[in-house]
Structure formats: C-alpha cells, structure tokens
Amino acid sequence: MYLDHIEKLSLTSGILLYKRYIDDVFVIGDTKMDVDTTLERLNVFDPKVSVTIERPNADGYLPFLNTKVRIIQGQKEHLWYNLLAQNVHQW
C-alpha cells in the first residue's frame, strides 16, 4: 500500500503503462524524459526506497520477470527469458 501511494503521486502524464510485481516494475513512457522524471519522483519520497532503471539492450529487448519485451513499429514483441543463475557459494 505504501508503494501504491508513492506511485500514484509520482507518475507523470507521459507514462503509458506502469505495472509492478512485488519489486519489479515495467514502465513505458511517451519519451525517455517522462520515464526519467517518474524515476526521479519515485526516489524523493523515502530514502529507504530506491528505484533504479534498466534500459533495453542493443536488440531493443528489456528483461521483465521471465520475459524479454520490445516495441517495434508500435507493436509489442515478447520472448521467454531465463536469467542464468550464478553460483555464489564456494564449496
């Protein structure tokens, strides 16, 4: 509920899509500036809440949860995406 409140106060009019699943957020904006402004607004409310941004890769895909999404000529494309897990334990 707390994040819902922050999000409602932070979204700019140029945000076309804003979806959050737990701590992952997917945002589509009219312009890069609309997305960046929303990011700045999200980060000013609470120093304990930090929102970062990930930009699409060279192919235009942006990972979100278990998919990769891109927009080509106004059409959404998505692929299943598997993030390779790193073994952080040294046995």
Tell me the pLDDT tens digit for each residue of 9-51.
Answer: 788 788 888 888 888 888 888 899 999 998 898 888 888 888 8
Q: Element (H or E) spanning 42, and its range? A: helix 32-42
**53 domain-assigned:** yes
- For residue 91, pLDDT over 60 is answered with no
Tokens of 68: 């990769």
Mean pLDDT of 59-85: 82
Residue 72: band (very low, low, confident or very high) from pLDDT cuts 50, 70, 90? confident
* Best CA proximity match to 37, nearest among 25, 51, 58: 51
**91 domain-assigned:** no
**85 domain-assigned:** no
**69 domain-assigned:** yes
Average pLDDT, the chain: 83
User: What is the tally of structural domains in the chain?
Assistant: 1
Q: Which amino acid is at 55?
A: R
